[in-house]
């Protein structure tokens, strides 16, 4: 039985990359096959199957763009995954990729507790202020106000902050809603 991977799991991104690539190749392959069948059956490119093949390239191209976006995402390092999983098993989400009009933000891990969102990125060039502003705007549009957002580039400080947040009392329903919004707006 196939395992279904959920967004935020460590294995999700690798699985999604493979799935999107296969889907894209299959869609282009079907378009090419339809074109070749039309060419063989009529001995000319001027036929209805050529039109069908060209129109079939539209969803295939959309799928290709999606594939390219998934392959641009840098996966969370195995070392970070092991560090987080040992201390905080089944907590947070791994490698979520957020896009905005101006910038893209790759996060290695995100943790939500007591309406506080902390994220860690292994890319030290990420603009933390722009990320925090973008996520704040997204959450406000979804009716979630008074959320505190912080992006870390120091792994030890990030892990220490998770430990601090673990002792806080939280509204699990609100935290789950926040995480669902983050999942819905990320790749």
Would the pLDDT of 171 be above 80? no
Tokens of 88: 């905080």
pLDDT tens digits along 91-110: 888 888 888 888 888 888 89
State mean pLDDT over 143-153: 86
The alpha carbon of 157 is separated from its chain's Cα centroid by a whole number of angstroms, namely: 24
Average pLDDT, the chain: 86
Q: Report which of residues 121 and 7 the model is more confident about.
A: 121
Q: Report which of residues 23 and 156 the model is more confident about.
A: 23
Would the pLDDT of 130 be above 90? no
Predicted local distance difference test score (pLDDT) of residue 73: 82
Beta-carbon contacts of residue 93 (< 8 Å; ≥ 6 apart):
7, 8, 9, 109, 110, 179, 182, 183
Q: What is the pTM of this model?
A: 0.77
SS3 content of the chain, % helix, strand, coil (to 5): 55, 15, 30
Would the pLDDT of 2 be above 70? no
Question: Is the CB of residue 28 less than 8 Å from the CB of residue 62?
Answer: no
């Amino acid at each position: 039985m196939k395992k279904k991977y959920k967004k935020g799991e460590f294995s999700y991104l690798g699985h999604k990359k493979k799935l999107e690539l296969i889907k894209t190749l299959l869609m282009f392959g079907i378009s090419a096959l339809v074109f070749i069948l039309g060419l063989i059956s009529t001995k000319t490119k001027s036929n209805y199957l050529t039109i069908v093949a060209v129109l079939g390239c539209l969803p295939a191209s959309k799928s290709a763009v999606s594939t390219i976006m998934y392959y641009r995402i840098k996966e969370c390092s195995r070392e970070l995954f092991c560090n987080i999983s040992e201390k905080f098993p089944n907590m947070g989400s791994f490698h979520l990729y957020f896009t905005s009009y101006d910038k893209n933000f790759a996060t290695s891990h995100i943790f939500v507790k007591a309406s506080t969102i902390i994220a860690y990125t292994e890319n030290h060039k990420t603009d933390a202020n722009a990320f925090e502003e973008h996520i704040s705007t997204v959450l406000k549009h979804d009716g979630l106000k008074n959320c505190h957002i912080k992006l870390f580039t120091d792994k030890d400080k990030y892990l220490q902050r998770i430990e601090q947040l673990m002792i806080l009392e939280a509204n699990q329903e609100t935290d789950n809603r926040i995480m669902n919004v983050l999942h819905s707006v990320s790749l």
